[in-house]
Structure 1
C-alpha cells in the first residue's frame, strides 16, 4: 500500500483512515526487516529463566502471611489465557515449592528472588535493544544511564508481575473473608481481570516511553501501540491456548519438555507482540509532521527521535527521486 500524504495531526485519533492503514501496512516490513522474531526469542529466553525462581520467591513470601498452597490453587485461574500446559508446569512448580517444609522466607528464596531480578533485567535489556531497533534509534546513553533505566524498568516489571499474581491469588481469598453477597463477590472476582489488563497496558506504555534511546513520545502517541499490544496479547494468548490444546503435537515431539517449550513459545509470542505495538507507534508518528515528543514544539530534525524527525512521505519521495 502506498504511503499516505503527511498530515499535521496532534493525536493519533486525528489521523485519517488512509494514513492509519498506510502505517499498519509498513509495520509488517518493519518487523521482518529488523528481525523482530529473533529479538523476541532472546527476551523469551530470559523470561523463561526468571519464571521459576520468581514462583519460588513469591510462594516463600506469601508463606509468611498465609497458606502457600493458595497461590498454586489460584494459578489455575489463568487457564484459557495462558496455555494449559504452561499453567500446568507453573502450577507443578508452585506445588513443589509450597509443600517444602521450609517454604517460608529463606536464603534459597532470597537467592531465587535475586536470580529473578537478574534474569528479568536481562529481558528488559533485550527490550531496550529491541525497541531501539524498532524505533530506528542507536544506543548513545552511558552505561550508568542505561543501568538506571534497566533497574527502574526491571523493578517496575517485577512489581507489576507481583501485583498481577497477587490479584489472582489474593482477591478470592480476601473476598472469602468479607461479608459480601454472592452477586457482589462475583462482580469483584470478574473485575480483577479488566484491572489486570489495564496494568498490562500501563506497563507496556512505560516500556515504550522509557526503554528506547530517544526523546520520549507524548502519551497519546504511545497509546495506540500499547492498546493494540494488550488486545493482541490477550487474543494471541487465548488463540495459542486453543491451538496447543486442540491441534499441536508439542508433547509428542518434545516429550517431557513439551510443556517447557510451550511456555517458551508463549513468552516469545508475548515479546513479539510488545515489539509489534512499538512498530505501530513508530509508523503512526511518521504519518504527521507535528512534533510528537514531550516538551516544547521543535522543528523536524531537532526532535532527537527518528520517528518524529522523519515522515513516511519523505521516504517515498526519496525512493522516487532515486529511482
Structure 2
C-alpha cells in the first residue's frame, strides 16, 4: 500500500518543523553569517590555488572556464562584480603550485571548510573530536580535492564540444541529441556539487553517518538553492537597490547576502537529516518497548522471574 499524498504531507510537516526548531536552537543564522564571511574571504585564495594547480597539471588554459563554472550558477548581479575582480587576480603572474604563497592560499581557503565543520557539528549534535592540527589538515585536503575536481570538470567542459564535433563527423545521427548533450554537460556540475556536499556531511562532523541518512538534506539544499538563486535574481532586478545603501560596496554586500542565504540552506539540510534520524530512533525505541515477550521451546510466553518468588525448601 502506497501512502496517500495527505499522509505524506502530515508526516513531512512535523519533521520540517523539527528541522526549523533545531536551526533556531543552534543559532543557524549566526553560523550562516560566519560561513558566508569565511567563504567570501576564501574564494579568491581558492581560485588562485585552482589556477596554479591547473597550470601545474598542464591545463592552465581552462582557468577562465573554472571561473565561469563557479559563477555561472550564481545570480548575474551577484556574480558579475566578483567575477570581474577574480579575472584581475588570476591574470597576475604567479609561481608553481608548491610555492609558499600558494600554500598560504590553501591554508586560508581551508578556513571556509572549518566553518562548515562547525555548522555540521552543531546540526548533528556531533562536534569533531579530532585535534586542531588534524582537522586543519583534513580541511586543506578537502580544498585540494575540490580544486582538483574543478579542474577535471573544467577540462571536460572545454573538451566536450571538440569531442562532440569529432563524433558528429563519424555519426551524423547524433545531431538529434545535441540539446541533451548540452544538458548532460552542465548537469555534471550539479553532480560534482552534490558529491561535495555529501562528502562534507559524511566526513566533516564527528560521528558516523550513512549516505542515505544525508541524502534528504542534500536534496533539499540543492533544490532550495536553485529555487532561491532564481528568486534572488528577480528580487535584485526589480526590488533591491543596494547601491543606494552601500554605494561602492553594493556588489560585495550583495554577494554576502547571497552567500549567507546559501549557507543557511546548507545548515537547514543538515538539521533536516538530524530531525529525520532522531524521529527514526524514537519510533524504533517505541516499537521495541511494544515488542511481545520471548517464547519458550513450546511456543508459550516465557515467564519473567520475580524477586519475590520464594526459594524451594
TM-score by length of 1: 0.71
Contact 2:45/2:106, CA 8 A, preserved across alignment: no
Q: Is 1:117 matched with 2:109?
A: no
Q: 1:204 aligns with which of 193, 197, 210?
A: 197
Question: How many angstroms does 1:163 deviate by?
Answer: 4.4
**Where in structure 2 are the equivalents of 1:122-201 lying within 5 Å?**
122-163=111-152, 166=154, 171-172=157-158, 174-176=160-162, 178-181=165-168, 183-201=176-194
Residues 185-223 of structure 1, C-alpha deviations (whole Å, 9 max, x = no match):
543332122221122112111111112222x12211111
Contact 1:224/1:281, CA 8 A, preserved across alignment: yes
Contact 1:175/1:185, CA 8 A, preserved across alignment: no
Question: How many angstroms does 1:142 deviate by?
Answer: 3.1
Residues of 2 paired with 1:230 and 1:206: CA distance?
Answer: 14
Q: Is 1:254 matched with 2:246?
A: yes
Contact 1:56/1:109, CA 8 A, preserved across alignment: no
Secondary structure at the aligned position of 2:279 is classed as: coil
Q: Is 1:35 matched with 2:21?
A: no
Residues of 2 paired with 1:77 and 1:141: CA distance?
Answer: 33
Question: How many angstroms does 1:67 deviate by?
Answer: 7.4
Contact 1:50/1:115, CA 8 A, preserved across alignment: no
Residues of 2 paired with 1:98 and 1:131: CA distance?
Answer: 32
* CA RMSD, Structure 1 to Structure 2 (Å): 3.3
TM-score by length of 2: 0.73
Most deviating of 86-95 and 239-248: 86-95
Most deviating of 201-210 and 139-148: 139-148
Q: 2:36 aligns with which of 40, 44, 58?
A: 44
Residues of 2 paired with 1:111 and 1:238: CA distance?
Answer: 40
**Where in structure 2 are the equivalents of 1:258-277 lying within 5 Å?**
258-277=250-269
Most deviating of 204-213 and 174-183: 174-183
Contact 1:55/1:93, CA 8 A, preserved across alignment: no
Contact 1:83/1:262, CA 8 A, preserved across alignment: no
**Gaps spanning 5+ residues in structure 2: where?**
1-6, 169-174, 290-313
Most deviating of 114-123 and 90-99: 90-99
Question: How many angstroms does 1:290 deviate by?
Answer: 8.0
Residues 114 and 188 (structure 1), Cα distance of their counterparts in 2 relative to 1, 3 Å cut: farther
1:7 matched to which residue of 2? none
Residues of 1 paired with 2:65 and 2:194: CA distance?
Answer: 26
Question: How many angstroms does 1:57 deviate by?
Answer: 4.1
Residues of 2 paired with 1:134 and 1:153: CA distance?
Answer: 20
Question: How many angstroms does 1:279 deviate by?
Answer: 0.4
Number of residue equivalences: 272
Structure showing greater radius of gyration is 2
Q: Is 1:242 matched with 2:234?
A: yes
Residues of 2 paired with 1:84 and 1:109: CA distance?
Answer: 34
Question: How many angstroms does 1:144 deviate by?
Answer: 4.7
Residues 238 and 160 (structure 1), Cα distance of their counterparts in 2 relative to 1, 3 Å cut: farther
